[in-house]
Amino acid sequence: IRDGDLSVTATDMEVELVAHQSLEGGEAGEITVPARKLIDICRALPSDAGVDFTLQDGRVTLRSGRSRFTLSTLPASEYPSTEILKEGTRLRVERAALKRVLELTHFSMAHQDVRYYLNGLLLELSPERLRTVATDGHRLALAELEMATGVEGETRQFIVPRKGIAELLRLLGGGEETVEVAIGENAIQANLDDVRLTSKLIDGRFPDYTRVIPSAAQCDKHVGVDRELLRQSLARASILSNEKYRAVRLSLEAGRLRIVANNPEQEEAEDEVEVDYDGEALEIGFNVSYMLDALAALPSERAELYLSDPSSSCLIQPEGRADCRYVIMPMRL
């Protein structure tokens, strides 16, 4: 507490959150209390209840109505804290726009991969563009936002860990307000209203993702389809897919796409959806979960699929746009 302002800091040494709240009265001072116990106490009190805190003899007492709680403490001087980033890359971006490009890509991050740099999301800044990229080695998601970033010269890349992205998405909300983002050598910091989020960066080199994104010109099979109809067909077929490998077989021919899934119990699901396609027939396999994730995120009513042969990746993007792209590697059938 300082000058009528209450600041609450929490950290797990990877992500730090600092929230501010104005107070009426209150003596200046600082102390550390058990976070989970404090949260549980506050949640158990009525939503409109006031709370009084008293620090005495190294213990904090909370009083609210007829309730009283005494918590143990630790010296605040021993609590780890992160300084406000004053140097590095800085940008201001609309909250809703930043949230959108994160939501379009974050689900493709790896989970506890030994290639630690895949367990995060790439923020790539060029003078005229903010780009987000995530991949787990089997699929890739890319989204970009045209904006003046203030970055001069070469493109800069930063890898934000999964936990930092999750907290940032939770805090962003919507709206046209801007969020200030500062990126230093080892950390990224975002200031949102009365909350400051700081996350460590992953020290690693993100793979050259541009090498695995096929261009539409490289694919001789172009499929146009209603996004929601395809998503529903895949969801139905996935019910009987192998629970471990989640494979589905796509059989493409003029005017239609047949989807087949089966499992070790000799059960089979088959579905079909109309498509805009008049090329040669193709059979190819994919992880249905990856397909469903991409289609659920796609920001358009119709999807465009670009394919070439059974051993080549599929490119999925919204109709008539290239600011959002998904690449999914095929599976052996």
In this structure, are 99 and 189 located in the same domain? yes
* Alpha carbons 203 and 193: distance in angstroms, whole number: 29
Please give the Cα distance from 217 to 28 (Å, whole number): 65
Tens digits of residue pLDDT in 237-257: 999 999 999 999 999 999 999
Q: What is the CATH number of the domain that holds 198?
A: 3.10.150.10
Cα–Cα distance, 258 to 248 (Å, whole number): 10
291 with 305, same domain?
Answer: yes
> CA of 288: how far to CAs of 139, 250, 292, in Å?
12, 10, 6
| Nearest residue to 82 (alpha-carbon basis) of 176, 141, 13, 24 | 13
* Residues 129, 37 within the same domain: no
pLDDT of residue 7: 94
The answer to whether residue 111 sits within a structural domain is yes
Same domain, 155 and 200: yes
- Token readout for 321 is 């746009």
pLDDT at 174 exceeding the cut of 80: no
Token pair of 308 as six digits: 């070439």
Q: Does pLDDT of 1 surpass 80? A: yes
Tell me: do 320 and 232 sit in the same domain. Answer: yes
Residue 123: what residue type?
L
Instruction: Show the domain range for 35.
Output: 5-78
Structure tokens at 125: 């800044």
User: Count of domains in the chain?
Assistant: 3
Residue 228 and residue 324 in one domain: yes
Instruction: Please check whether residue 136 is in contact with residue 105, taking contact to mean a CB–CB distance below 8 angstroms.
Output: no
DSSP letters for 167-227:
HHHHHH-SSS-EEEEEE-SSEEEEEETTEEEEEEPP-S----GGGG---GGG-SEEEEEEH
Give the pLDDT band (50/70/90) at residue 18.
very high
Of the two residues 302 and 150, the one the predictor is more confident about is 302
Other CB atoms within 10 Å distance of the CB of residue 161: 20
CB 257 within 8 A of CB 251: yes
Q: What is the pLDDT of residue 102?
A: 98
Number of residues in the chain:
333
Question: Does 84 reside within a domain?
Answer: no
Segment 157-166 shows an average pLDDT of 98
The answer to whether residue 333 is domain-embedded is: no
* 55 and 142 part of one domain: no
Task: Look at residues 316, 292, 303 and name the one whose alpha carbon lies nearest to residue 237.
Answer: 292
The amino acid sitting at 190 is A
DSSP helix/strand/coil, 48: coil
Whether the predicted pLDDT of 84 surpasses 90: no
State the chain's mean pLDDT as an integer. 95
Within this chain, do residues 122 and 201 fall inside the same structural domain, yes or no? Answer: yes
The domain boundary residue, chosen from 27, 57, 78: 78
Question: Are both 193 and 237 inside the same structural domain?
Answer: no
Element (H, E) at 305: strand 302-307
Q: In 3-state terms, the chain is what percent helix, strand and coil (to 5)?
A: 20, 40, 40
Residue 242 CA: distances (Å) to CA of 158, 235, 238, 285: 36, 13, 8, 13
Phi (first) and psi of residue 247, to 5 degrees:
-85, 140
**Structure confidence by residue, pLDDT tens digits, 273-287:** 999 999 999 999 999
What are phi and psi for residue 77, nearest 5 degrees? -65, -20
Q: Which of 210, 231, 259 is the last residue of a domain?
A: 210
| 95 and 72 within one domain | no
Q: Scanning the structure block, which residue is given the tokens 């709240």?
A: 21
Closest to 84 in 3D by CA, of 200, 201, 196? 196
49 within domain boundaries: yes
pLDDT tier, 86 (very low <50, low <70, confident <90, very high otherwise): confident
Residue 203 and residue 105 share a domain: yes
Q: How far apart are CA 5 and CA 28, in angstroms?
A: 9
Distance of alpha carbon 263 from alpha carbon 266, whole angstroms: 6
Q: Where are the alpha helices (DSSP H) in the chain?
A: 35-44, 95-103, 162-172, 227-238, 288-297
The CA-atom distances, in angstroms, between 123 and each of 64, 145, 181 are 45, 11, 12
